[in-house]
Amino acid sequence: MDLGIAGRMAIVCAGSRGLGRGCAEHLADAGCTVFLNGRNPEVTNQTARKIQERTGSRVVAVLGDISDPKTQMHLLDACPEPDILVNNNGGPPPRDFRELDREAMLEGVVQNMVTPIELIQKSLDGMVKRKFGRIVNITSLSVYTAVAGLDLSSGARAGLTAFLGGIARSVAKDNVTINQILPGKMDTDRIRSNLEFVAKARGTSVDEEQAAAVAAIPAGRFGTPSEFGALCAFLCSAHAGYLTGQNLLMDGGLNQNVF
């Protein structure tokens, strides 16, 4: 399928690895110019180079922590008129909520709620003016399903979801959409750190916890960044203009709710 976004300008935050990289790969496949953000210079530059070499699309690396206002400024200087914005950021590590002090809680809220809102503030009006915009926020299954130890991450991402509900509907008439993808257990560094946290708390091994996690997923496996990126690219496509304000679970059937 031709996604109809060749030549569009796409920002992908935290896109050097994992789910962000999957999104960047598929947007480049669709012919977008991708502005790829990442913290690690070596990894980010290497990812940008590999995607560009494979797809032939232009990929620009913009280094830094996306929660840092200076990094946001550099990113929007490089891409002042984004057509597509994929908000993604590392979340707080798994931790018992009793261990969270005020500083840690504020940092988590900035990472997973404030930062995407700031980027949307800086991008949305231009999308409205140009009558095309696609914003995809990578949140988490834990917005819908309680996951002990991810309380701070879950709370911040749920806050983002609620914050954007009315905003998404206010710009739908301008062919600008805002949606969230809620990944379940995906084959990324994040899932490995979560498994280590659970194994330590239960006195088990990471292998045991991974086997139990996979056994609970109806699909019988973890999801892949490429599968995730393909869904993201569709949401960013010309064909998805009637789909907005939604939270799309991608979890292999793990969440048992019917509605």
- The average confidence (pLDDT) of the chain is 96
Say what the alpha-carbon torsion angle 53, 17, 157, 209 is, to the nearest 10 degrees: 140
Q: How are beta strands 84-87 and 176-183 bridged, if at all?
A: unpaired
Contact of 4 with 239, CB cutoff 8 Å:
yes
* Domain limits, the chain: 9-184+224-249, 187-222
Work out the average pLDDT over 133-157. 94
pLDDT band (50, 70, 90) for residue 3: very high
- Nearest 5°: the CA angle 92, 94, 100 is 70
Write down the architecture of domain 9-184+224-249 according to CATH.
3-Layer(aba) Sandwich (3.40)
pLDDT band (50, 70, 90) for residue 21: very high
Where helices occur in the chain by DSSP H, the ranges are 18-29, 41-55, 69-78, 102-109, 115-130, 151-170, 189-202, 206-215, 225-235
Q: How many CB atoms lie within 10 A of CB 101?
A: 8
Q: How far apart are the first and last CA of the chain?
A: 29
pLDDT in tens, 49-97: 999 999 999 999 999 999 999 999 999 999 999 999 999 998 888 889 9
CB proximity list for 131: less than 8 A, separation 6 or greater: 174, 175
pLDDT band (50, 70, 90) for residue 195: confident
pLDDT in tens, 201-251: 899 998 999 999 999 999 999 999 999 999 999 999 999 999 999 999 999
Bridge partner list, 34: 10, 59
Q: Six-digit token pair at 75? A: 């990113």
